[in-house]
C-alpha cells in the first residue's frame, strides 16, 4: 500500500530513505543545502525519488505535485539546540511556521516532524505549545500585526472549545531515545505526529524494543555479548555499571558501537571499495570534557560537526588511551544508514550531514506506526 509523500528539510535523507522502505512514494524532496542535495541525488535510486529541489521550503509551489498523503521532515534544529543561541522564534532558521503553511496547503492525511531535545527546554515551553497548536489548526493563521503570543491565546481558546471546523489535526509528541529502538547510539529526539481529525484515527508511538538493562545483563557473566565478539576475559573492559538483578526478557539489549562496527576493517588513508567512506581521519585527541564513545556501549550522539564537536562525540575511544575519529562509514552505521548509501563531500562535510540526519531505524519505527494507523483509511475506502 503506497502513500504519496512530501519531504521537507530533507538533509542527507534519513527520514526519506526509511519512508520509501515503509511504503512512501515521494513526490519531492526539498532541501536548501546544495551539498546535502548532492547526497540525495546520489542516492535517489535508493530513496525512490528523482525530484530533488534545492530550494527554500517557503518559496516552493506545491500545486503541481498532486495529492499528498504524508508530510515529513526535520526543521532546522539550531534555534532550539543546546549548542546554539537558543533564540527559537527569533531565529530566522525557525522553520516550524513554514512547515505549518505546507501542511495547510497540501492537507495531508498525516505528518511526522522531528527535532532536538532542546525544543523541550523550559524556556521554550510556551513556544513549543504554540507549535503544537499551530499544527493542530494549520488554517488558523496569524492576523496582520498579531504577535505569536496573541495568536497562541486565540488558538488556546479554540482548543478549549474543541474547535473542529476546517482542517484540524490530532497532534501527539514524544521524546524518543534512538538506543531504545535498536540504533547503536544514545540520541534523544522529539517526534511530533499528526493525523487529520476527520479520519477518526488514534495514533500511538511504538514501544521500545531494546534496553540498557538487557545490555548489562548480556554483558554480565553468563551473558553472550563477550563470546559473540570473541573477547576472552583478559580483554574485556571493566564495566562501571552493575547488571540488573532480574533479566528483562521482553526487550533486546541496546546495540553497542562494537555491535555496529564489528565487521569493518581498521581504516587507513585509502577509501575502501567494499565500505565506501571508511577512511582514517587523523587529529583526534582526548581532554577533560572531550571524550569519545566507548566500544561496548551505544555511541554518544553523533553531531553535526567535525574536529570541534564540544564533547568529542565524533571520536571513538579504543581503550588504552587511544582515540581516533569515526570514519564516514562508521558514523553512517551508527545512524543506521545502509553501506550502499553514499555521502558527498569532505570528511567534515559528510560528518555534518550525518550528524544532522534522523537515524534510519528510528524513522522506521515512527513512520511504520503512522502508516499502520493511516492504512485504515485505505482499507475503508
* Closest by Cα among 181, 183, 114, 179 to 334: 183
Which grid cell is 266?
581498521
List C-alpha distances in Å: 201 to 109, 170, 373. 10, 9, 7
CA distance 344 to 38: 6
- The structure's pTM equals 0.93
| Digitized pLDDT (tens) for each residue of the chain, 381 residues in all | 689 999 999 999 999 998 999 989 999 999 999 999 999 999 999 999 999 999 999 999 888 899 999 999 998 776 666 555 555 555 566 889 999 999 999 999 999 999 989 889 888 899 999 999 999 999 999 999 999 999 999 999 999 998 888 999 999 999 999 999 999 999 999 999 999 999 999 999 999 999 999 999 899 887 899 999 999 988 888 766 776 766 666 899 999 999 999 999 999 988 888 899 999 998 888 888 788 999 999 999 998 865 455 556 799 999 888 999 999 999 999 999 999 999 999 999 999 999 999 999 999 999 999 999 999 877 665
Q: Which fold has domain 210-356?
A: DNA Methylase; Chain A, domain 2 (3.90.120)
Where does 3-208+358-380 sit in CATH, by number? 3.40.50.150
Please report, for the chain, the start and end positions of each structural domain, with discontinuous segments joined by +: 3-208+358-380, 210-356
- The residues pairing with 174 across neighbouring beta strands, listed in sequence order, are 191
Amino acid at each position: 500500500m503506497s502513500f504519496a509523500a512530501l519531504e521537507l528539510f530533507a538533509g542527507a535523507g534519513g527520514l526519506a530513505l526509511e519512508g520509501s522502505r515503509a511504503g512512501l512514494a515521494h513526490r519531492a524532496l526539498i532541501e536548501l543545502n546544495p551539498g546535502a542535495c548532492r547526497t540525495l541525488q546520489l542516492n535517489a535510486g535508493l530513496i525512490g525519488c528523482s525530484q530533488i529541489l534545492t530550494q527554500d521550503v517557503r518559496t516552493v509551489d506545491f500545486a503541481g505535485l498532486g495529492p499528498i498523503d504524508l508530510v515529513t521532515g526535520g526543521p532546522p534544529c539550531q534555534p532550539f539546540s543546546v549548542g546554539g543561541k537558543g533564540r527559537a522564534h527569533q531565529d530566522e532558521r525557525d522553520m516550524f511556521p513554514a512547515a505549518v503553511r505546507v501542511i495547510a496547503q497540501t492537507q495531508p492525511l498525516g505528518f511526522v516532524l522531528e527535532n532536538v531535545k532542546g525544543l523541550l527546554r523550559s524556556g521554550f515551553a510556551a513556544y513549543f505549545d504554540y507549535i503544537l497548536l499551530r499544527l493542530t489548526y494549520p488554517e488558523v493563521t496569524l492576523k496582520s500585526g498579531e504577535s505569536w503570543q496573541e495568536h497562541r491565546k486565540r488558538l488556546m481558546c479554540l482548543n478549549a472549545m474543541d474547535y473542529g471546523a476546517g482542517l484540524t489535526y490530532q497532534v501527539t509528541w514524544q521524546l524518543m531515545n534512538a538506543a531504545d529502538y535498536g540504533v547503536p547510539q544514545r540520541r534523544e529526539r522529539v517526534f511530533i505526529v499528526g493525523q487529520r481529525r476527520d479520519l477518526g484515527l488514534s495514533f500511538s508511538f511504538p514501544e521500545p524494543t531494546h534496553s540498557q538493562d538487557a545490555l548489562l545483563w548480556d554483558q554480565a557473566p553468563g551473558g553472550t555479548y563477550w563470546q559473540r565478539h570473541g573477547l576472552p576475559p583478559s580483554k574485556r573492559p571493566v564495566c562501571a555499571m552493575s547488571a540488573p538483578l532480574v533479566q528483562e526478557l521482553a526487550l533486546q539489549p541496546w546495540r553497542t558501537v562494537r555491535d555496529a562496527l564489528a565487521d569493518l576493517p581498521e581504516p587507513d588513508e585509502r577509501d575502501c571499495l567494499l565500505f565506501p567512506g571508511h577512511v582514517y581521519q587523523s587529529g583526534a585527541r582526548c581532554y577533560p570534557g572531550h571524550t569519545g564513545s566507548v566500544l561496548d556501549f551505544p555511541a554518544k550522539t553523533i553531531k553535526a560537526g567535525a574536529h570541534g564537536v564540544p564533547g568529542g562525540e565524533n571520536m571513538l575511544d579504543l581503550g588504552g588511551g587511544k582515540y581516533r575519529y569515526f570514519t564516514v562509514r562508521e558514523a553512517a552505521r551508527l545512524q543506521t544508514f545502509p553501506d550502499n548509501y553514499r555521502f558527498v563531500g569532505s570528511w567534515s562535510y559528510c560528518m555534518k550531514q550525518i550528524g544532522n540526519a534522523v537515524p534510519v531505524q528510528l524513522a522506521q519505527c515512527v513512520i511504520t506506526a503512522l502508516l499502520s494507523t493511516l492504512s485504515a483509511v485505505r482499507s475503508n475506502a
